[in-house]
Amino acid sequence: MKPKKYLLLPLSLLVLVTTTPINASLLNSKSITQPVLGKDGMVVTQHFLATEIGSEVLLNGGNAFDASIAVAFALAVVLPRAGNIGGGGFMVLYDESSNSFEALDYRERAPEKSYKEMFLNQDGTMNGDISTIGYKSIAVPGTVHGMWAIHKRYGTLSWKSLIDPAINLAREGFRITPMMADTLNENYDKLSKFESTKKIFLSQKPMEFGILLKQPDLANTLEIISIDGVDGFYQGKVAQKITSEMKKNGGLISLKDLKKYRSVWRKPLIGDYKNFKIVTMPPPSSGGIHIIQMLNILNHFSLPDLKHNSPEYSLLLAEIMKYAYADRSKYLADPDFEKVPVEYLISSKYSQEIASRISVGSYTNSDLIAPGIAASHESLDTTHFSIADQYGNLVSNTYTINSTYGSKVVIEGTGILMNNEMDDFSAAPGIPNQFGLLGDESNEIEPFKRPLSSMSPTIIFDMNKPFMVTGSPGGSKIITAVLQNILNVIEFDMEISDAISTPRIHHQWKPDVLSLEYGFDETHAQSISKLGQPIIFEEPGTSLEAIMIRNNIFYGYGDTRRPDSKAIGVNQ
């Protein structure tokens, strides 16, 4: 049930938040890594400052939905490469008071003036520069509307009190971390194309960690939103600044586009795996469908008989991933524009059909797997957070601005770093976007349409009890990362920390290459190659931020693949 309404208390009055285990006997002594424990809640995000803000909300009596709003706005300040108010995303939630699941789609939308061939050259090839960098690549943002929708339906603390911590971070500044310094330096050339971006994020070259980063324009924008609510972003001075910059620089977003934007409440997808209920995001996310689809296929195999991450196990997962990503290429799109055959794709009949074509230890060339034209996806710098509260509510939220630092455009005078989500549409069948996935006509650009996404926020129940909250950034790799996280816990009985830390694989059908994280050794890779599957080694591209619930204790872990991640357990 919902708590009473409160105002946030000063930091000096907060109850202790713990990041250390409560009782060693509650932990798995065989684990290589150990999670953080909490009795009254858990917050896991990709940046420690956002995690601290979320945990403070819970300590002050707020619920998981309040904490989500505070975290989302805080990440817009401290994780500009992915956290945002200039982007959009998806939330899957469980409301204990009504014993119900919901899914909120606050994905970005194509502007009214957008059109199918807008990123094609005269010879029909893709103009990747226009689709990924600059004003034309920007879709209508949804984050502020999404957080407002959550607040209106589930919020208990005041809207302003939830945004105030982010305002303070933007105005007073924070010390940039080594990872943030690295990403800024790696993107220096692209970010410095825009003076409004350069003056905020590139005060020197190279950027060094420890620099105090202040964002006064963003603080002012957040303050307007905190006072005027959703209209503070989609109408008034902020909207006028956005559309003025668009008009001046060839962008397509109008005042009408902003005013007409709406987030959408959708019915979550629910599947069963063993005794577990998998609750996840429906289209325009492709992640939920294909997680359920792959789990359905895996139901036909005895995974415990295969050693975890053995060559045979890795190849089996790869084969199943190929079928899912082939289907993704053909059928997935915005359900408000295209009919997506959800029931068919997650049916037991279809999963049995696919399973009958797969043999453990056998390799199938991707060219032999239909259907034929492949899909689009967002970059590695999406971000995810998971939150659980003392009242029984759960939140799994993934949002993005697409590429690292999105379009690289900060709207002058607002501090808002904008997305480049227009690249998530298919420019034309068979033409890959910036991340190598292909696309069909179902995901082509149309006015007001939402682009296809791989984001996969997921909640799992064990019988009728909350068991797990999970999700990840990582573009097309999100789906396979979340799948392996689920399997590691359910099939191989791993502690949540080990389930996240162990090396992951990825296959997306086209190109026909199995990606292995560097945690795998050469012997493993050679064994897979001998079975016929081409492989490559890649740096980690995902970052699971997850919670497991056991015996009324919350176990949280922030993926160390992104070193700024942090889990905080709440203990009243």
Model confidence over 91-100: pLDDT tens digits? 999 999 999 9
DSSP class of residue 246 equals: H
Q: Which residues pair with 505 in a beta bridge?
A: 516
pLDDT (mean) for 516-539: 93
Q: Phi first, then psi: give them for residue 385, nearest 5 degrees.
A: -140, 150
Q: Which residues pair with 175 in a beta bridge?
A: 212
In which band, very low, low, confident or very high, does the pLDDT at 431 lie, cut at 50, 70 and 90?
low
d(CA 93, CA 74): 20
**Residue-level pLDDT at 376:** 45
To the nearest 10°, report the CA torsion of 159, 162, 165, 169. -70
**Residue-level pLDDT at 375:** 43
Is the per-residue pLDDT at 432 higher than 60? no
**Residue-level pLDDT at 3:** 42
Percentages of the chain per state (helix, strand, coil), in multiples of 5: 35, 20, 45
| Whether 18 is catalytic | no
Length of the chain: 572
**Residue-level pLDDT at 371:** 58
Name the helix (H) or strand (E) containing 278: strand 276-280
568 near 37, Cβ under 8 Å?
no
**Residue-level pLDDT at 428:** 61
- Interval 26-46: pLDDT, tens: 888 788 999 999 999 999 999
The number of beta carbons lying within 10 Å of the beta carbon of residue 14 is: 14
Q: Which class for 496: exposed (0-12), middle (13-18), buried (19 or more C-beta within 10 A)?
A: buried
DSSP class of residue 15 equals: P
- Interval 173-203: pLDDT, tens: 999 999 999 999 999 999 999 999 999 999 9
Closest CA to 409 of 136, 108, 89, 79: 136
17-18 and 545-550: which strand pairing?
unpaired
Q: Is the dihedral of CA 68, 73, 79, 82 positive or negative?
A: positive
Listed in sequence order, the residues at least 6 apart from 398 whose beta carbon sits closer than 8 Å to its beta carbon are: 89, 90, 91, 382, 383, 384, 455, 456, 457, 471, 472, 473, 478
Residue with tokens 């902020």: 238
pLDDT (mean) for 89-108: 98
Task: Name the 3-class secondary structure at 549.
Answer: strand
Q: What is the rounded average pLDDT for all residues in the chain? A: 92
131 near 74, Cβ under 8 Å?
no
In which band, very low, low, confident or very high, does the pLDDT at 370 lie, cut at 50, 70 and 90?
confident
Closest CA to 471 of 519, 402, 542, 406: 542
Q: Which of 45, 197, 280, 382 is an active site residue? A: 382
pLDDT (mean) for 454-460: 97
**Residue-level pLDDT at 289:** 97
